[in-house]
Amino acid sequence: MPRGIFITLEGLDGSGKTTQIERLAAWLRRRGHEPALLRQPGGTATGDRIRQILLDARTAALAPMAEMALMFADRAQAIAEVVRPALDAGRIVLCDRFTDSTEAYQGGGRELGSELVLAMHRLVCGGLQPDLTLLLLPSLETSLARARRRNQRVEAETGASEGRFEAEKDAFFRRVWQKYREIAAREPDRVAVVEGDLTIGEVHEQIVEAVAERLLATG
């Protein structure tokens, strides 16, 4: 059986990834596919527990190296439990964040550097790379405003806060945003950038164009 296709969505919190991955999954289902959906951190029982530690606003003084190690622990479990079995079964995998997020947030935002993150990726992930990465890059200001509003709404509704990263200063997010641009420039064959403060429909159109092209190329 041919290997499946691994597609990731990347971008700052508030860039619209959750909305777009749902729309892309629906688009694929209408064309006879049944994609496996995953988010990182999370998506497995172990990963969801790690997510609570990483995103909970009450988690204090977490060292950058510990933060990165937890990200990769979550990723290793997701690969073993979800990603590789789905790809081996010939399915399309849609993943909300992968190693590009760690390179952007911990490598860029926490200033650990790309080399360390990529070395961990090779060790933990066996070099598994997405076939296509959709990088959503609305303006920094738009992303942050959306993310902070969402976290306030979720906390008001559920009492749980996943706003640990959104509490960072804007300089942190500028480093993340810039690192994403560096990744896209370094790997243009893999990373399709959807840039600007576009409507949900306009972003979806660009995404399905990139995905259709990749599906055609892989047969």
**Does residue 61 or residue 195 have the better pLDDT?**
195
What would the mean pLDDT of 68-73 be, rounded to a whole number?
A: 97
Residues 72-89, mean pLDDT to the nearest whole number: 97
| Boundaries of domain holding 115 | 5-218
Smallest CA-to-CA distance from 68 within 29, 120, 25 is with: 120
The letter for the amino acid at 182 is: E
| CA 2 – CA 7 distance, rounded (Å) | 16
pLDDT, one tens digit per residue, over 24-49 is 999 999 999 999 999 999 999 999 99
User: In CATH, what number is assigned to the domain containing residue 212?
Assistant: 3.40.50.300
Q: Which of 176, 171, 167 is nearest to 57 (CA)?
A: 167
**Residue 83: closest CA among 56, 25, 43:** 43
Number of domains in the chain: 1
- Token readout for 166 is 């959104």
pLDDT per position as a tens digit, 94-117: 999 999 999 999 999 999 999 999
